Amino acid sequence: MKKFLPLFMLLALVTLFSSCTETKVTRQSFAFDTVLNITADEKYNEEISEAFRMCQGYEKVFSRTNKESELYKINNKVSVLPSKEIKEVLEFSLDMSKKTDGAFDVTVAPLVDLWDVNKRTAPPSSEEIEKAKENVGYENISSAPFSLGKASLDMGAVAKGYIADRLVDYFKEKGADDVIIDLGGNVALVGEHSVGIRNPKKPDEVFAVIHLKDKSAVTSGAYQRYFDYEGERYHHIIDPRTGYPSDGDILSVTVVSPSSMVADALSTSIYILGEDALSLCEEFPHTDAIIIRKDLNTATTKGFAEKYSLAYK
């Protein structure tokens, strides 16, 4: 019997060793006009495939340009009854509009179309802007009973967050405890990880690193979708109150929250409203933010550096 003991111990050690070195895989896909990356233990390979399939499914719900999508059909009055997903995001968005006094507005679609920053090389005229503004206004729509009037919905500032939350739920249901879901810079974590915040002036470089557990980090900034005209930058985050791309002292805002949807909507909102709006984080549980100003100085919610072990690079 004695003879077998070392072998038994050895086997136990190997088992222990292999459980410590579970192999991680990172797989890539494309949806929502952006690159998606999911990292998880390789035994969740099939779940990663399913998560990507879920993203393709959500594209057919939330895309504003895909003619097969639910949002397209609602906006174009092809269908009139919203699904549970659209309703949920709409209700959250309307609440966000109230909290931000209309800086966040899910009816901003006509202005986003007019400013079409991927194609434009010069700004639209002020007449065009005034005309587009006519059908913008969250006060004119309602979620229950569902009624849009002449407005149309753009969920581009919040849908990726909603979807990231659903993917987190899915992986947790499957028993995964260590997953990184990255929907084009909209990062949601199951478990604990360090997350890099890009340098908005040199987006390929990391500006700072934060440490998060079971949270999401979402950044809004003007360094990816924009055009320059006569020395001015015009980007894709529109201030619905003026009809122009928001113009402030901020290069990027990163919001961390247990809810990716909250982080997504808040990062867009704080980007528009500026530093004073950091206080909006207090309205959501365990939610914080860091702003990078044009001079690369930062502003954060109270205690941010300690809570997330902020380290500048």
What's the min distance (Å) between Cβ of 251 and Mg ion? 15
Q: Which stretch binds Mg ion (CB under 5 A): 50-58, 72-80, 115-123, 267-275?
A: 267-275
What is the rounded distance in angstroms from the CA atom of residue 175 to the CA atom of residue 32?
27
9 SS3 class: helix
* CB atoms closer than 10 angstroms to residue 267: 27
**What does the CA dihedral 269, 259, 185, 243 come to, rounded to 10 degrees?**
-20
Count of positions (residues) in the chain: 313
CB of 267 vs Mg ion, minimal distance in Å: 5
When CB distances are held under 5 to 8 angstroms depending on the partner's kind, the choice from Mg ion, ligand ADP, none that residue 238 binds is ligand ADP
Closest residue to Mg ion, based on beta-carbon distance: 268
Applying CB under 5 A, does 268 fall inside the site for Mg ion?
yes
Convert 11-25 to b/e letters by CB count within 10 Å (16 or more is b): eeeeeeeeeeeeeee
Residue 153 binds to ligand ADP (criterion: CB under 6 A): no
Least separation in angstroms between residue 157's CB and ligand ADP is 3
Is cis: bond before 145, omega within 30 of 0? yes
**Choosing among Mg ion, ligand ADP, none, which partner's interface includes residue 237 (Cβ < 5 to 8 Å by kind)?**
ligand ADP
Q: Give the nearest distance from C-beta 161 to Mg ion in angstroms.
A: 7
Q: List the beta strands (DSSP E) in the chain.
A: 24-31, 34-41, 179-183, 186-190, 192-199, 202-213, 216-221, 226-229, 232-235, 238-239, 244-245, 250-257, 288-293, 298-300, 311-312
Q: Cβ closer to ligand ADP: 267 or 298?
A: 267
Considering the complex, what minimum distance in angstroms separates the CB of residue 122 from ligand ADP? Answer: 19
List of residues contacting ligand ADP (CB under 6 A) = 104-106, 108, 112, 154, 156-157, 220, 225, 236-238, 240, 264, 267-268, 272
Q: Which residues are near Mg ion by CB under 5 A?
A: 157, 264, 267-268
